[in-house]
Chains A and B, each alone.
Chain A
Amino acid sequence: MKKEILNVQNLKLHYPISRGFFVKRNFIKAVDGVSFSLFVGETLGIVGESGSGKSSICRLILSLIPKTSGNIKWFGKDFNLYKKKEIKSFRKKVQIIFQDPYGSLDPRMTIGSIIKEPLGIFNKNLSKNESTERVIALMSDVGLSSDLYNRYPHEISGGQCQRVGIARALINKPSVLVCDEPVSALDLSIQAQILDLLDVLKHKYNLTLIFVSHDLSVVKAICDNVIVLKSGKIIENGITSDLFKNPKDPYTKKLISSVPSPIPAR
């Protein structure tokens, strides 16, 4: 049996919509009772149409937004019991990259200082030269020329921005990387490059991946297991190849059939 890194039980996130004093409260159920596990070394796909709650799940498991209810267990320990210090070291171990390549980089910082930011948080005693060297090493790992070190985000392409985001996420050698639609905003040819890069880095850095997408062909290409999400609920999950061969739920069938395949399965 593989080791379980993350266990989520009955996770819920409800946003109130009517705030009336006498009116009965109504909720948007962004995440509505989701349970799943993540195992060491696997790539777990989360698919679903827009608004199905994929990003919400990512933010919840990273504790970037407060949950309504449910249980999240990271590394065998209930996240509610994490102390402040433990949360900090958790942040070092679990990283995220977001969909919008430009939006996730501070427009006022150079590429070098963006990638360096996590070093400043966790490796305060690193000398300036050492940290610069690490940044440059990582830039070459993600396929960025060191020429870009002093450039600003608005001077580089979307694909390069996403590489910067990946470099920043990896610089403290995390064990889990959550990718929230990391390629959806990019051109098809660039999508394939970034996916290849993630695959290479996964092995080089021994990463466990959560890969969110609305694009099933992408998920099919890189995920071991998949969760299919609709309106905040899991409607089907399992091993990727099985799920693609025998989709049980009509919604999954519809998703699968409506997807052209721009990226050849590996």
Chain B
Amino acid sequence: MFGIRKYDNKMVNKGASIVKGRSLWIDARRRLFQNKAAVTALFLLIVISLLSIFGPFFLQHNFSDTDWGSIYQSPNLQTGHYLGTDGNGRDLLVRILYGGRLSLSIGLIATLVSVFIGVIYGTIAGYFGGKLDIFMMRVVEILYAMPYLIFVIILMVVFGRNIYFLFLAIGAVEWLTMARIVRGQTISLKEKEFIETSKALGQSDLLIIIKHIIPNLAGPIVVYITLMVPSVIILESFLSFLGLGVQEPLTSWGVLISEGSREMEAAWWLLIFPGLFMVITLASLNFIGDGLRDAIDPKEY
């Protein structure tokens, strides 16, 4: 991912045996793969992602097709409604998989956007320090203090429910935390002698940040990503629960759960199955995050 550099092996090893170094990433990967919980979680996450992406192509039902002849059907292998149907006779499995596409991609995209903003903001504040840092962190604190949920609700009411707006609303909150974490890590990295040496070599501040600070932040950032995706998914569910999420006929896990909870007594499957998918995903991400944290040598940071 970040900062793994390879140089021309051919020329270096003219006549010499090929000696390849073990980067810290390779070490971390080995340790991660020794962690059974993390590997299982990774496997589950991959299965759920693949199912969400490709599953709907192999199912006979469409996510928006209503079938008035078979509403509130319980899970049934014969009819092809493996996980049953909802009040409009739509197939639950397909809807869960479609919802998964949406929930997972909101989780991933909103996270990546906030990581992008947070890393730039945090490294600049942490690296340059002084008054700039104080100013930038005040801005973050002020934004933190905003009752953002009310903000989001008002904006959604004014501008209507729009999926891009959902991304924006979530991203606008999450980058604050990222910026803080990155700033703290940057400040401790800045004290390292290799940063000072690089300055003494004549390297520009921008390149020091790009070549040395960010690659060395990559570990904590990756760990944080795995913890942020679940929080974004939950945030989206929460907004959906309030009726501010995605719009029909589109769906997300949050929407499905909130609908399912209303019809829990009549049709238990409408709550249980979407809930199960979400819980497995969130738990997997947490296990992967823990595994990564252990795998990426803590004494490095």
Interface residues, chain A, CB within 8 Å of chain B? 59, 62, 64, 88, 91-92, 95-100, 103-113, 116-118, 121-122, 128-129, 132-133, 136, 145-152, 154-155, 165, 168
Contacts and interface: CB of A to CB of B under 8 A. Distances in A.
A122 B194 CA distance: 18
Given A147-B17, A150-B12, A152-B21, 5 more contacts: A91-B200, A106-B198, A121-B201, A133-B11, A152-B24
Interface string B5-31: 111110111001101111110000000
A107 B24 CA distance: 8
Contacts of B216: 106-108
A118 B204 CA distance: 11
B161 interface: no
B300 A107 contact: yes
25 contacts: A62-B200, A64-B199, A88-B202, A99-B193, A104-B196, A105-B194, A106-B215, A106-B216, A107-B24, A110-B21, A110-B23, A112-B12, A113-B5, A113-B7, A116-B7, A117-B198, A121-B201, A121-B203, A122-B202, A146-B12, A146-B13, A147-B17, A149-B19, A150-B20, A154-B24
A132 B8 contact: yes
A98 B196 contact: yes
Contacts of A147: 16-17, 19
A120 to B, nearest CB: 8
B8 A96 contact: no
B202 A129 contact: no
B12 A132 contact: yes
B55 interface: no
B192 interface: yes
B215 A108 contact: yes
Contacts of B192: 103
B128 to A, nearest CB: 14
Nearest to A106: B194
B60 interface: no
Nearest to A97: B197
Interface in B106-146: none
Contacts of A145: 16
Contact of B202 (A118, A155, A165): A118
Do most interface residues of chain A lie in helix, strand or loop, or is the interface mixed?
A: helix
Given A98-B197, A150-B12, A106 B19 contact: no
Given A150-B19, A150-B21, A154-B24, A132 B7 contact: yes
B185 to A, nearest CB: 14
B212 interface: yes
A85 B38 CA distance: 51
A129 B8 CA distance: 8
Interface in B188-223: 192-194, 196-203, 211-212, 215-216, 218
A150 B23 CA distance: 9
A88 B207 CA distance: 14
B4 to A, nearest CB: 8
Contact of A110 (B7, B17, B196, B203): B7
Contacts of A106: 194, 198, 211-212, 215-216
A117 B215 CA distance: 15
B243 interface: no
Contacts of B215: 106, 108-109
Interface in B160-175: none
Contact of B9 (A118, A128, A150): A150
B193 A98 contact: yes
Contacts of B197: 96-98, 104, 165, 168
Contacts of B211: 106, 117
B80 interface: no
Contacts of B300: 107
B3 interface: yes
A150 B11 CA distance: 12
Nearest to B7: A112
Contacts of B5: 109-110, 113
Given A100-B193, A112-B7, A149-B7, A118 B17 contact: no
A122 B201 CA distance: 10
Contact of A155 (B7, B22, B194): B22
B157 to A, nearest CB: 47
A239 B148 CA distance: 69
B194 A103 contact: yes
B7, B194, B199, B212 — which one has the most chain A CB atoms within 10 A of its CB? B194
